[in-house]
Structure 1
Amino acid sequence: MGEAAKEHMRGHRSRLRERFLKGGPDALADYELLELILFLAIPRRDVKPLAKDLIARFGTYAAVLSADVERLGAMPGLGDTAVAAIKSVQASALHLARVQARSQPVLDNWSAVSDYLQGVMGNMAREQFRLMFLDRKNKLITDEVLSEGTIDHTAVYPREVIRRALELDAGALILVHNHPSGDPSPSRADILMTKEISEACDKVGVKVHDHIIVGKTGQASFKELGLL
C-alpha cells in the first residue's frame, strides 16, 4: 500500500470513529460498525471491502456477530485475531443482556429477557433447546443449554429437565428453543413436547411458566398463544 493510500485509510478510520463517537451506532451503517471492530484486529489494511463481504454473506450485523467461529474463519481475509474481535463484541453484548435479565424477577422484566434470548438464539444455524431456571420468587437462577440438534430438530427428554430443575432447587422454569428457519410458529411436535414436559414438571412441583420459540426477527410465546 502506497503512502497516499495509507493516508486515505487513516483519514477514513478517523472520520468513522468521530461519526460513531458523536452520533452513536445509529449514525453508521452495519458494515461501518463492523469496520470499527476490524480496525482493532487488522491495523494495516483497508477493511471496508471485508466488512461489506461479511454483511453480504451473513445478512445483518447481528448475524455476523452470532455466526460461529468456523463459518467466520472460512471467510477469506478474516484471521483468528479478527474472528476473536468479532466474537468478543458478541460476548460483551450478551453478558450485558444477561445481567439485565437477572436484575429482577423474570416475569416483571420480560423485555430484557426477550432481548437476551433474541441475541443469544435469533441467528443460530441449528436448533438449540435452552432452559431458564427460576427460584421461588421467579428470579433467574441460571439458563443452560440442554441440547443442540440439526437445522430443524433437537431431542429433549422430560426426565433430563426434571433432574436438572431438582438439582438447582428451581421452583419454575421457562423452556426456550429456536427455529433456524426464522419462523417462530410452534410445530405440532413442539406442542406435544411442551405438554409432556409441563405435565412431568407438575408432578414434582415445578411450574413451567412458558415456552418461547425464537425466530430470526421475533418470538412466539406458548402462554400468549393459549398453548400452555
Structure 2
Amino acid sequence: MRPTPDRRRKETEEPIARAAALDDAALLSILLGSPAAAPPQDRPARGLLARFGSLGEVLAAPARELHRIEGVGPEVVERLALTRELGFRLARSRALADSLPSGWSALVGYVRTRLASLTRERFLALFLDADDRLVAEELVAEGTVDHAPVYPREVVRRALEVSASGLVLVHNHPSGDPAPSRADIAVTRLIVEAAAVFDLRVHDHLIVAREGTASFRALGLM
C-alpha cells in the first residue's frame, strides 16, 4: 500500500523537527557517533563545547587542540573535519549561485565560514568570470598569526591561467580585529596595479575576523 501524501509529509517533516529541537551538545554528540541520550560524562561533545565555547569554535579548532579533550580520538577529529568541510561546501554553493553584486552577501558569508575562526593567516583569491560569477578559489599564502607573504604577480598569473575577468581578495586576521594594516593596504595597491595591466578588475579586498568583516571598497581604500 502506497503511503498517503499526509504520511509522506509527516515522514519528511518529523526528522527535521527532531533535529531542530536538539541542543548543541546533543546535536554534536550524534554527529560524533554518540547517542544523544548518553550520560553527559560519556559525551566528548560536552567537553568540546566547554573548552571552545560554541559549535563554530569546535569545528574551527586545530586537531592538536581537539586531541587534548578527554574522549576525543582520531575518529572524532575526522568526523569534525568532515562536518566542517560540509559546511564550507554548502556556503560555497550559495556563493556560486548568483553573480555579484546580488550574491555579495552569500560570498561574504562563505569567506566568514571559511576563515573567521582560523588561528593563522590565510590569503585567498576568488576569481570571477566575465559575468562576475565565482569560477575558482586559490590559497595564495598561509602564514603566522599575523602575517602571510603575498606576491602580486603570482595572484595575477593565476587569474590569467583560469581566464578570470576579475577577482576578490580575502584574508583573515586571527587577532579578531578586521581593521586593515599598512601592510594590507600596500599589498592590495600592488595587486590592483598589477591586475590593471591585464585589464583585470579587483572588486574588493575583504578582511575577515571574529569581530567582523572589513571591506576595502567600503572603507574607500580602493
Contact 1:41/1:82 (<8 A) preserved: no
Q: Which moved more, 1:98-107 or 1:208-217?
A: 98-107
Q: SS of the residue aligned with 2:101?
A: helix
In the alignment, the residues of structure 2 paired with residue 106 and residue 63 of structure 1 have an alpha-carbon distance, to the nearest angstrom, of: 29
Gap regions ≥5 residues in structure 1 = 1-18
TM-score, normalized by length of structure 1? 0.83
Cα deviation for residue 213 of structure 1 reads 0.3
Match of 1:190, SS? helix
What amino acid is aligned across from residue 114 of structure 1 in structure 2? V
CA change 1:42–1:80 in 2 (3 A) is farther
Q: CA deviation at 1:72?
A: 1.8
- Structure 1 46/217 Cα, relative in aligned 2: closer, same or farther at 3 Å? farther
Q: How many percent identity over aligned positions? A: 41
Aligned residues: 208
Corresponding position of 2:90? 96
**CA–CA separation in structure 2 for the residues paired with 1:24 and 1:44:** 14
Residue 193 of structure 1: how far off its partner (Å):
1.0
Structure 2, unpaired ranges of 5+: 1-13
Preserved contact between residue 29 and residue 35 of structure 2 (Cα < 8 Å) = no
Change (3 A) 1:53 1:20: farther
Within the candidate set 48, 52, 55, 1:58 is matched to 52
| Equivalent residue, structure 2, for 1:176 | 170
Alignment partner of 1:106: what SS?
coil
Q: Say if 2:95 and 2:106, in contact at 8 Å, map to a contact too.
A: yes
Q: Counterpart of 1:211 in structure 2: which amino acid?
A: H
Measured after TM superposition, the shift of residue 41 of structure 1 is: 5.6
1:187 to 181, 185, 192: 181
Letter in 2 for 1:110: W
Aligned CA-pair RMSD: 2.2
Which of 22, 25, 35 is the matching residue for 2:29?
35
Runs of 4+ in 1 over 6 A off after TM superposition: 42-45
Matches within 5 A, 1:129-168: 129-168=123-162
How far 1:22 sits from its partner (Å)? 2.4
TM superposition shift of 1:196:
1.0
| Aligned partners of 1:35 and 1:47 also within 8 Å | no
On the 8 A contact 1:72/1:78 being kept in 2, the answer is yes
